[in-house]
Amino acid sequence: MEILYKSTRGNNETVTASKAILQGLSADGGLFVPTQIPSLDMDMETLAKMTYQEVAYEVMSRFLTDFTKEELQDCIEKAYDEKFDTRDIAPIVKADGTYYLELFHGATIAFKDMALSILPHLMTTAARKNQVKNDIVILTATSGDTGKAALAGFADVPGTKIIVFYPKDGVSPIQEKQMVTQKGSNTYVVALEGNFDDAQTGVKQMFNDAELAEELLQAGCQFSSANSINIGRLVPQVVYYVYAYASLVKNKEIEPQETVNVVVPTGNFGNILAAYYAKQMGVPIDKLICASNENKVLYDFFTTGTYDRNREFILTSSPSMDILISSNLERLIYHLTGDDSEQNRAFMDALSKDGKYTITDAMKTKLADFYGNYAGEEETAQTIRRIYETAGYIIDTHTAVAASVYQKYKRDMRDDKKTLLASTASPFKFTRSVMNAIDHSYDEMTDFELVDELAKIARVKVPQAIEDIRSAPVLHDTVVEKDEMKGIVRKILGI
């Protein structure tokens, strides 16, 4: 069955998966969605016998139907290799009565590696399939993790350049060091005097700038995106929810077809949308528990049906979730309208103009799959400390937000169903926040002293991603204001 893609804001025009991946964002400003969610149509006992790479093929081949078997398997083999420090790729750890799906065993120790390890290969394959001769310029905004994972994935990939914007004071010291020390003749990192939403808005404006697009074409370039607005980012994320469920079956933690809940810490909504797509494919998932930090725009949406970004932007210890414009929510809104692009466009226009929109009562009834809540800074720290003291397991701040929200879910809903929790980053990526949560006596240590102490108390090896940046020189030191983003892109590309 062929799966095509259409815009959440467009008419009924469709494109192939490879063209959707190449474009990243539709020309009308919408996001590409599949014309239908394919069925998994395989029993879990069969999937349970497969490797991560084999499950990846079964899932992705159903979405990316214009890729040949050989093309897709080649992309998968290049992506999920020794870059990951565990053969399982996405192992599950049982702790504190929950199944933690560890998505941080890739090159940059965050869940973005799961998709950004394969996106460059999907994109270059898509370019060949569509006879694209231009250089692909990856233009992306990051709240911390996407930037480094994208840089690592695209570094020195022929026919590509990558420009990453990040909020100067909105990422952790380790996240920033990872980005500004990135090697690669085609990599460019720019700090922005603003927050993540400023960076994301600026990037979207450049994607929709017809004059800039023409200048790029004259220079032999074209934009694409590595953010989760790119369907080539989202589809690989569906894989690990399918694999995780199959792993629980394999390890006899659940019976085949037994329903489980899934908890996801999210700001941009892409990671939990992937779980929603996995459920639509047929994975027996019951509740999708959406965990927010103090920037609780998603919690408020699930509680009231109104999405309102008109509020204070709060810098937290879980910076990858410090987001007020959750771009991937648009895909869910589109599905809630019954795939009505005109109605969806009206919501998005209202968001752009007024900063908010309210969905209809009929759409609210379709949110029954979801539960939303949030965790404050002190709750997050207490959760890290509690799980370390009671289970000897150390989690990062984002995972702690999810673990805290899960406790609220169990209290509110009285549901003890077995639950999978997406652990989205290594605690080594947010060492100071994690160690301060465990014991404030660590305040005087340097960042890398804290790294060594964390390894000691967790009884684990320091990840190679951290070792690599201990003494690495800063290679990127450009800082710009919001209104200078287009100018610096022109300068980088020589146009």
Q: How confident is the model at residue 418 (pLDDT cuts 50, 70, 90)?
A: very high
Q: At what angle do helices 119-129 and 69-79 cross, to 10 degrees?
A: 150
Residue 112 bears catalytic tag: yes
Measured CA to CA, the distance from residue 427 to residue 434 in angstroms comes to 7
Mean pLDDT within 352-372: 97
For residues 182-207, b (16+ Cβ closer than 10 Å) or e, as one string?
bebebbbbbbbebbbbbbbbbbbebb
109 token code pair: 């120790």
Average pLDDT, the chain: 95
Measured CA to CA, the distance from residue 486 to residue 483 in angstroms comes to 7
pLDDT of residue 27: 87
pLDDT of residue 308: 98
- Tell me: pLDDT of 11 over 90: no
pLDDT in tens, 230-276: 999 999 999 999 999 999 999 999 999 999 999 999 999 999 999 99
Amino acid in the structure at residue 454 = L
pLDDT in tens, 73-90: 999 999 999 999 999 999
Q: Which of 112, 279, 287, 429 is catalytic?
A: 112
**Nearest by Cα to 52 from 237, 240, 231, 236:** 240
pLDDT of residue 228: 81
User: What is the pTM for the complete model shown?
Assistant: 0.92
Q: How confident is the model at residue 47 (pLDDT cuts 50, 70, 90)?
A: very high
**Nearest by Cα to 307 from 329, 278, 284:** 329
